Amino acid sequence: MTQSLVLNATFEPLCVVSTRRALLLVLEGKAEMMSATGRVFRAARITVDEPSVVRLVYFVRVPFQARVALNRRAVFARDGHRCQYCGASAENIDHVVPRSRGGSHSWDNVVAACRPCNTAKRDRMLEESGMKLRRPPVVPRERTWILVASGAIRPDWEPYLPSVAAGLTA
């Protein structure tokens, strides 16, 4: 199923919806087309460009935290499916400060890890294990939830994702 990126009236990425839904938003006058997929949608009396990116006419207030649920899929998307200790392909989620040592299950304490690193670290603190994080874990920005929601980021969505330009993709 084709999906479309929905921007808030402020141009901030808001959500990913089916292209059909995005088209309805445009036809109902609730959103304007920013970028088209290049295909057209044909119904009984109309032929319209299929939207790839639409922008809402009215501002919608959404708390950022609500959009990025902390789960395995989202952590892997944020960390590029790479172990944050050695760079190998990640299979596990590691708590930097172990749960048994009071570490929280929060964005700034979970990283993707390969099985050998996850096993090697056990329930030790970072300093005790002698292991190093490639970068500190942070609350993800929009690229992560868009990846989780859509599976892929279309090239014409990139201009609307500021964190891409800011180099978060490393």
25 CB-contact burial (10 Å; exposed 0-12 / middle 13-18 / buried 19+) = buried
- For 82, the token pair is 């790479």
Q: Candidates 95-103, 106-114, 129-137, 147-155: pick the segment binding Zn ion (CB under 5 A).
A: 106-114
Q: Is 111 in the site for Zn ion (CB under 5 A)?
A: no
Residue 83 interacting with Zn ion (CB under 5 A): yes
Options 4-12, 83-91, 124-132, 162-170: segment touching Zn ion (CB under 5 A): 83-91
Strands 92-95 and 47-56 turn out to be unpaired
Give 40 or 88: the residue with its C-beta nearer to Zn ion.
88
Q: 116 or 162, CB closer to Zn ion?
A: 116
Q: Which is nearer to Zn ion, 90 or 148 (CB)?
A: 90
> Which residue lies nearer to Zn ion by CB, 85 or 160?
85
Q: Is 133 in the site for Zn ion (CB under 5 A)?
A: no
Least distance in Å: CB of 118 to Zn ion?
7
> Which member of 16, 33, 117, 147 binds Zn ion (CB under 5 A)?
117
Residue 164's SS3 state is helix
The torsion angle over the Cα atoms of residues 112, 115, 117 and 118, rounded to 10 degrees, is 70
Under the binding rule (CB under 5 A), the answer on residue 86 touching Zn ion is: yes
CA–CA distance, 12 with 30 (Å, rounded to integer): 16
Asked whether 138 and 109 are in contact (CB, 8 A), the reply is no
Ramachandran region, residue 34 (left: φ > 0; alpha: ψ -120 to 50; beta: rest): alpha
DSSP label at residue 122: T
Q: Which is nearer to Zn ion, 55 or 95 (CB)?
A: 95
Residue 114 in the binding site for Zn ion (CB under 5 A): yes
Where does this chain bind Zn ion (CB under 5 A)?
83, 85-86, 88, 114, 117
